Amino acid sequence: MPQVTDATHDGPPDALPPFAELVLDLTERIPPGRVMTYGDVAEYLGQGGPRQVGRVMALYGGPVPWWRVVRADGRLLPGHEHRALDHYGEEGTPLRELADPPRVDLKRARWDGRPIP
């Protein structure tokens, strides 16, 4: 589990807020080559919303595969596009490459939380 480097919450310095733990645990379970949107994560967990998930990822998401949690339109995280594209290439994540800029192909890459056969 990732360690907190910026104590912006109550509790021991290395403890994460409970919602952050849930978000990061789920992010680590998203299979390579698959993605969930911020809203998908919140819906799967049954709490929070896309903005709360985005906040968790912004504060604590560095140690987990952050590129697997994307915007609802599949656009890449501003300022991290090149790093995300590198990861997507390594993992074989489907992209809408003709889009400018490239986007994740959510129809093919979206993961619903169920085990993949």
User: CATH no. for residue 98?
Assistant: 1.10.10.10
Residue 117's pLDDT is what? 74
67 vs 99, higher pLDDT: 67
How far apart CA 33 and CA 14 sit, in angstroms, is: 30
Residue 57's pLDDT is what? 97
How many CB atoms are located within 10 Å of the residue 6 CB? 8
The set of residues, in sequence order, having a beta carbon less than 8 Å from that of 32 and lying 6+ positions away, is 65, 91, 92, 93
Count of domains for the chain: 1
For residues 107 and 37, the answer to whether their CB atoms sit within 8 Å is no
How many CB atoms are located within 10 Å of the residue 96 CB? 17
13 found inside a domain:
no
- Average pLDDT for 95-109: 91
Domain that holds residue 60: 18-109
Residue 58's pLDDT is what? 95
9 found inside a domain:
no
114 vs 5, higher pLDDT: 114
- Give 59-94 pLDDT, tens digit per residue: 999 999 999 999 999 999 889 999 999 999 999 999
97 found inside a domain:
yes
2 found inside a domain:
no
99 found inside a domain:
yes
45 vs 2, higher pLDDT: 45
60 found inside a domain:
yes
Query: Band of the pLDDT at 15, cuts 50, 70, 90?
Result: confident
Q: What's the token pair of residue 22?
A: 């849930």
44 found inside a domain:
yes
For residues 96 and 105, the answer to whether their CB atoms sit within 8 Å is yes
24 found inside a domain:
yes
Which 8-state DSSP code applies to residue 110?
Answer: B
